[in-house]
A and B are shown apart, each in its own frame.
Chain A
Amino acid sequence: MSSQSTGVPADGGTGETPTVVTEVMGVPEIGRALTRIAHEILERNKGGTGLVLLGIPTRGLPLAHRLADRLARVEPGLDAAALAGSLDVTMYRDDLAHQPTRSIGATRVPGAGIDGRVVVLVDDVLFSGRTIRAALDALSDLGRPRAVQLAALVDRGHRELPIRADFVGKNLPTSLSERVRVLLEETDGRDAVVIETRRGDGERGEEPR
């Protein structure tokens, strides 16, 4: 990632400690990573039959749709719209009481449900693993999938639970004081993965949640 570090201060600085934003993935890198993940998913599951891609809102959802499009392109028999759905995990989180009230997202399971199928959870950043734990609980209330796999665009480490991703776009070693943000065309207007570092900000380090 050092090759692409630009060290541009964040725009709209409010006179506080300057935040340094480093872009680690751009449009082509994200596109290539998703294409590779799509192929890996098909390879691992020996085709696309019985697959369901469930994106975790907010940014897992557009990623799931993009992956579904790529799967449909590789395997002509697949229908992208019937492949991707969303899984909201808000009501299953273990940190609700320590956070401001979160808005609840939509859960939409495509077609015939998840019973007996292979569910691929899709999220933008894999960090503590707690969101995925919540997602596994949410899934078990929806049905009984044959297997659950996990795809993440970025794995930034610092796991707090025994959870790992099956498909990773990019492994990103980070420190806890850094903040990894995935920006997507659908939600943020452009595709990028950036690391934000607050300079000289020792005591207000980002706690893993």
Chain B
Amino acid sequence: MRHLLSTADLDAAEAVRILDTAAQMAATQAREIKKLPTLRGRTVVNLFFEDSTRTRISFETAAKRLSADVLNFSAKGSSVSKGESLKDTALTLQAMGADAVIVRHPASGAPHVLAHAGWTTGAVVNAGDGMHQHPTQALLDAYTLRRHLVGDGGRSDASGRDLAGVHVAIVGDVLHSRVARSNVHLLHTLGARVTLVAPPTLVPVGVEAWPAQVSYDLDEVVADGKPDAVMMLRVQRERMSSAGGGFFPSPLEYTRGYGLDGRRLAALPSHAIVLHPGPMNRGLEISAEAADSPRAVVVEQVANGVAVRMAVLYLLLAGDDAAGRETRADAGTAGSGETTRDDA
């Protein structure tokens, strides 16, 4: 793994490896001393062209817990507001010796350009680009789902397991949601079944090509689909022009059709959990009753986000890629994939 740009690039083995690494990272975060020396001397740059609190803080926490140096670069109040291009910003960061660039950008594909244009040699992690992808969010959602739904409801060790047989309903503003796009690909790769639930106006064109079913009726999905998890998406009012932006008649009508309230929560299977990537619009897509119920794992998602991002940074930065290719080449003759430890 050189960069993390899209969950569509991950195969099942890589995704499970990230989740397993995240589980070990999470275990270290229960200790009194949470800091690990693993990425000492590495520099991680948070390059944020879009507002973000939890993702940026989550990445910053993850990098610091692994002892990397973190530089925060937000577009507001920086040279970007004076008109600097992405290229010049990237070259500047390269000159400062960034080993990893975590980028959030309003334009879909900006992280891809950053990773492949040759402006920077560091690893690029996509922290959300336009309406395209937000891979670490999908990974933390998958990690949370696995913890609760795989391995006897989280009581036994789920490491090495995927999400086969799990049914996830993703509800709400699918059109504007990079979280939904990332999740559809990742959950499908991990063997889960995904149903997208949204008003027709908030379903993107070309959704038939996605590995997911589409429904316009939340009550029907809750009653007949018996989802193991419901992932509520934030209604992204900032990407809509007026109140509902013409996507739905009124907030109240949206809530009636697609909001998760106490009634729908009660109709879910008893083991089902509720996820939300945050920040929540209480009263719009999720009622306070649902958001504060013990089945909502929203706060745990935030904690898991740090562990998953530690895992991603570890897997991208800790090893030597060149050595990896060499060893994998002669592992074929040694007959063992794992490096034999005789160096104690």
Chain A residues 69-113 with CB under 8 Å of chain B are: 88, 91-92, 96-107
A40 interface hit (Cβ, 8 Å) = no
For B152, list chain A residues within 8 Å (CB).
none
B236 interface hit (Cβ, 8 Å) = no
Set A12, A14, A104, A208: member contacting B343, Cβ < 8 A: A208
Q: Given A88-B24, A101-B319 in contact, is the A179-B342 Cβ separation under 8 Å?
A: yes
B: number of interface residues (CB 8 Å): 34
Bound complex: CA of A107 vs CA of B342, how far in Å?
20
Chain B residues 24-57 with CB under 8 Å of chain A are: 24-25, 27-28, 31-33, 35-38
Query: A1-9, A26-34, A45-53, A122-130: which one contacts chain B?
Result: A122-130
- Of all chain A residues, which has the CB nearest B37? A92
Q: Given A99-B320, A100-B324, A107-B27 in contact, is the A56-B344 Cβ separation under 8 Å?
A: yes
For B340, list chain A residues within 8 Å (CB).
179, 181
Would A102 and B319 count as touching, CB distance under 8 A?
Answer: yes
Would A101 and B318 count as touching, CB distance under 8 A?
Answer: yes
Interface bin, chain A: 35 or more
For A142, list chain B residues within 8 Å (CB).
31, 33
B339 interface hit (Cβ, 8 Å) = yes
Q: Given A101-B319, A102-B319, A142-B31 in contact, is the A96-B343 Cβ separation under 8 Å?
A: no
Chain A residues 156-190 with CB under 8 Å of chain B are: 156, 179-182
Bound complex: CA of A101 vs CA of B312, how far in Å?
12
Give min CB distance, A55 to chain B, whole Å. Answer: 11
Would B38 and A131 count as touching, CB distance under 8 A?
Answer: no
For B27, list chain A residues within 8 Å (CB).
106-107
For A36, list chain B residues within 8 Å (CB).
none
Would A105 and B344 count as touching, CB distance under 8 A?
Answer: no
- Of all chain B residues, which has the CB nearest A12? B335
Would A106 and B344 count as touching, CB distance under 8 A?
Answer: no
A137 interface hit (Cβ, 8 Å) = yes
B226 interface hit (Cβ, 8 Å) = no
For A152, list chain B residues within 8 Å (CB).
344
Give min CB distance, A108 to chain B, whole Å. Answer: 9
B17 interface hit (Cβ, 8 Å) = yes
For B343, list chain A residues within 8 Å (CB).
125, 127-128, 130-131, 208-209
A60 interface hit (Cβ, 8 Å) = yes
Bound complex: CA of A56 vs CA of B344, how far in Å?
9
Would A92 and B344 count as touching, CB distance under 8 A?
Answer: no
Bound complex: CA of A51 vs CA of B27, how far in Å?
23
Bound complex: CA of A125 vs CA of B344, how far in Å?
5
Would A137 and B37 count as touching, CB distance under 8 A?
Answer: yes
Would A58 and B341 count as touching, CB distance under 8 A?
Answer: yes
11 other A-B residue contacts (CB within 8 Å) besides A60-B344, A99-B320: A12-B335, A58-B338, A58-B341, A91-B28, A91-B37, A91-B314, A100-B319, A100-B323, A126-B344, A142-B33, A143-B32
Residue positions of B touching A, CB distance < 8 A: 17, 20-21, 24-25, 27-28, 31-33, 35-38, 66, 314-315, 318-321, 323-324, 327-328, 333, 335, 338-344
> Which 5 residue pairs are nearest across A and B when measured between Cβ atoms?
A101-B319, A100-B324, A91-B38, A123-B344, A104-B24
